[in-house]
Amino acid sequence: MDDVVESKTLHGRLILAAGALISIYVLIFMQPQEHNEMLRKEISNIEKAISTEATKVVVFRAKGWYEATMVESGLAAFIDQYHQDTGLKGDQLWRTPLTRIAQNIKTIWYQCLLRVSLLIFWFWMAIGLIAASAVDGLMQRKIKQHEFTAPSTGYFRVALWSGILVAILLELYCITPALISNEIFPLFPLFAAVIIGWFLKTTLANSAKNM
């Protein structure tokens, strides 16, 4: 029980810390043109990892979500109104950074939707991996109960912290800027599914009989 409470607390702290770092990057360091180029490379890497037709589905689905949430909702117009030309002398001193920040916010949001769309693409394969791991864990649990072996709390704790780590990485996966995007990056949801499957199998295999 203490491990669960501690993991939740750590989870919240890590998310807050990562959110603060990403916010600083978006507000101060991020350049829209550079990030757009990185997004194009990321889409190219997605195409290499899956296929051209599947990539089109992923990209068009993300584009539809973006238009619905950012354009049709009026959010983009609301953001853009804060860096409009006022005609005042020297207004570029504050309009230029605000324009960059507004573009960064819209780019990061599209990136988030693109990665969520990719997560949906891998969903059924990931579910298959996790389900197979769960069945394996239940079978190992049955064998251990038949052999009268005791459940291992050590393995359970390792699995618990692994699950928390994967949850954090999945959340960061959607919002982290594409600085580290490479050909392996689009496969991250599958790697996460493998770790979640191991976490589930280990938890079930080492759980008590009355659990």
Domain ranges of the chain: 31-118, 122-211
Q: What is the pLDDT of residue 56?
A: 93
Q: What is the pLDDT of residue 46?
A: 87
In whole angstroms, how far apart are CA 98 and each of 29, 90, 112?
Answer: 13, 14, 21
- The model carries a pTM of 0.75
Q: With a cut of 70, list the residues of the chain below it in pLDDT.
A: 1-8, 10-12, 14-15, 18, 82-94, 144-163, 178-183, 207-211
Q: What is the pLDDT of residues 107-118, one digit of tens each?
A: 888 988 999 999
Under DSSP, the state recorded for 82 is G
Burial environment of residue 118 by CB neighbours within 10 A (0 to 12, 13 to 18, 19 or more): buried
Cβ atoms of 209 and 71 within 8 Å: the answer is: no
Q: What is the pLDDT of residues 36-58, one digit of tens each?
A: 888 888 888 888 888 899 999 99
